[in-house]
Amino acid sequence: MNNSDIRLAVVGFGDIAKKHLAAFRALGANVVAAANRSPEGRRKAEQDGGIERTYPDAQTMVERERPDGVLVTASVLSQFEVIRKLIPHDIPLLVEKPPAVSLDGWNSLRGQIEARRLPFMVAMNRRYYSVYDRALQRMGGVEAVTSVSVEWSEDPEKMLGLGHPAEMIPLLNFSTSIHGLDLLVFFAGIPRNPRLWGRNLDGSGDSFQWQMCLHGQTERGAYARFESSWDVPGRWRVVVDVPNVRMVSAPLETAVLYARGKAPEAIEASVEDQQFKPGFYGQAAAFLEMVRDHSYWAWPMASLEEISAEMELADSLTRACQTSSTAEARVLP
C-alpha cells in the first residue's frame, strides 16, 4: 500500500485538524470524509478542508466509508467518548491529546487498545521535531541523557478570557500538562517513584494560582524535573544534558547546543518543519507507516506505557494543586 492508496477520515474539524491534513496531503494520503456534530463544523470541513463527504457522527462515517485510518481532533471533553466508540472498528487511530481527561478514563481505553492490539497513536508532535532529532544525533541519543528539566507555565486568566468556564480550568491544566510531561518522558524516560508537590497560592481556593513540581530518577537512570507555575507570565523551556553538552529549547520549536569549549550551535529545522506546523510532517509519516503495516508502535512514538505514566503524573499534580494551599511533598509510587 502506497500513501496514495490510504484513505483517511477525520473527527472534529478546527484549526488543528487543518494543520494535520496539510501534512497528510503533502505525503500523498487521501482525506475522504469528516465527522462533526455541528452543522457549522461540517460546513468548515467542506469549505475550508475540501472534504466532500461529511457526517454528524463518527460511527456512521466509519461504517459507511471504511477508512484506512482515522484522525480524532474532537474537543477535550469529547475525545474519550469518540475514541471509545471507534476502538471496536479496529481501524488505526491518531488522536489528539489528551485521549481522556481522567486517569480512569485512559485506563479503560488502554485496556481495550491492548486487548485488540489496535494501532493507536497519541499526537505528541514534539517528539517529531527535526531540531530534537538532529540535536540528539549530535548528543549521542536519548541513552546518553543524564538530566532533563522542563519548565511549563500556563495562564488561567487568559483561558478564562477566552470564554472557558472556571470549572474547565483544572481539566485544561491536566491536558496541557501532558505536553510538558511527555517531553520529560521522551528525553529522560519514565520517572520511578518521583517526589512531587503542588499548591494553590490562593488559600481560599477561588483562583488558580497553582504551582507544581516533581523530580526523581527515571528508568533510564536520568534525573528528571518538571515545574509548572500558573501565577507568573512566561513560556515553556526544556533543558537536556549529556556529558559535556547541554541542549536548551526555548521556544520549544528551537534547539541550541552548548558544548564545552565550543561556540553555541543553533540547530536548523528541516524544510518540512518550516513549511508545516513543526513535528506534524514527521508525525503524519509515522502514522501512515502504522496504517500501511498495521504496526503497533515504533520510536519515537509515545508508547501506551509512557502515556499511562504521563496521565498518572498529570492527574497527581492536578489533584495536589486542588487540595492543598500549602506545599505538601509526597512520593508517587
Domain ranges of the chain: 3-123, 126-270+310-331
pLDDT tens track, the chain, 333 positions: 799 999 999 999 999 999 999 999 999 999 999 999 999 999 999 999 999 999 999 999 999 999 999 999 999 889 999 999 999 999 999 999 999 989 999 999 999 999 999 999 999 999 999 999 999 999 999 999 999 999 998 888 777 877 878 888 888 778 888 999 999 999 999 999 999 999 888 776 667 888 999 999 999 999 999 999 987 877 899 999 999 999 999 999 999 999 999 999 999 999 999 999 999 999 999 999 999 999 889 999 999 999 999 999 999 998 888 876 554 555 665
Q: 215 - beta bridge partners?
A: 195, 225
Per-residue pLDDT, 252: 95
pTM of the predicted structure, to 2 decimals: 0.94
CATH architecture, domain 126-270+310-331: 2-Layer Sandwich (3.30)
At 20 the pLDDT is 98
Nearest-angstrom CA–CA distance, 81 and 95: 12
Maximum CA extent, the chain = 62
Give whole-number Cα distances, 275 to 26, 147, 251, 272, 278, in Å: 10, 32, 18, 5, 8
* Amino acid found at 29: A
Quick one: pLDDT at residue 163? 81
Using an 8 Å Cβ cutoff, are 72 and 86 in contact? yes
Give the pLDDT of residue 221.
97
Q: What is the pLDDT of residue 180?
A: 95
What is 3-123's CATH number?
A: 3.40.50.720
What pLDDT is recorded for position 218? 98
